[in-house]
Amino acid sequence: MDVKLTYFAWVRERIGLHDETYTTSATTAQELALELKERGENYSAAFHDLTLIRIAIDHEMAQWSACIKDAKEVAFFPPMTGG
Amino acid sequence: MHIYVQEEDFSQDALLRDIGKSSQTGAIVSFIGKVRDDTNTLHQLEIEHYPMMCKQALRAMAEDVKKRFLLEDVLIVHRFGKLNVGENIMMVATASSHRQAAFDGANFLMDYLKSNAPFWKKESFLDGTSKWVEPKESDAHAMTRW
């Protein structure tokens, strides 16, 4: 399955990409992150502690256990600091 | 409801003219957040945002607060990009029949926005260093008081 991955703030900086298209067989957001973590030093630096990262699936906030099978876009970012 | 996500500055006067136009509105409360520098070391504040998610997330928050506090109208404007000390970052405004709902609604909305609006702040300092702003523990817990 092809999914668009988008990264923000220090997650984006550590990975060195704003977005990419990725092919995965992961079924949950957590499986996807653990898969990404193994892709190289930049990814492991970004995903070393998943408790520091929040996710959105198709522009809606989601839990790590959420299913990504029908997802078009999964975003990874630190806790938001709006306002 | 009025939701704006923009790079350019905004005019409070102009925005306030647009909200709470119904005859039921007896109170409007507005809040502006600005770039602050407590230690005279800040060069700029850079605000990154998630364009595809921003408007729908802010709209959902505005709808929620409108229902919860029975407001007549809600406005949210949030800027992104590089901002200097003293510049406006964002503004919320709430309109209601009576003042308490407008005050409470604006207060709730700010707590909500702090940890649920897809924006991230990065501070650049005069000495050339920079760092991402960490969410405050107090902001994360602020919602529990509602």
- What ipTM is given for this predicted complex? 0.95
Give the minimum alpha-carbon distance from B12 to chain A in angstroms, rounded to a whole number.
16
Q: Where are the domains of chain A?
A: 2-77
Query: Are A9 and B120 in contact (CB < 8 Å)?
Result: yes
Counting the structural domains of chain B, the total is 1
Laid out side by side, the sheet with B88-96 consists of B2-6, B73-79, B88-96, B27-34
Query: Are A8 and B122 in contact (CB < 8 Å)?
Result: no
CATH code for the domain in which residue B74 is found: 3.90.1170.40
Range of the domain at B112: 2-145
Chain B residues near any Cβ of chain A (below 8 Å): 33, 48, 50, 52-53, 56-57, 78, 89-90, 110, 113-122, 132-135, 139-140
Residue B91 has pLDDT above 90, yes or no: yes
Q: Going by CATH, does the domain composed of A2-77 fall within 3.40.50.1000?
A: no
Confidence class for position B143, pLDDT limits 50, 70, 90: confident
Share of chain B above pLDDT 90, in %: 90
- Which residues of chain A make contact with B130, given a CB cutoff of 8 A? none
Residue B140 has pLDDT above 80, yes or no: no
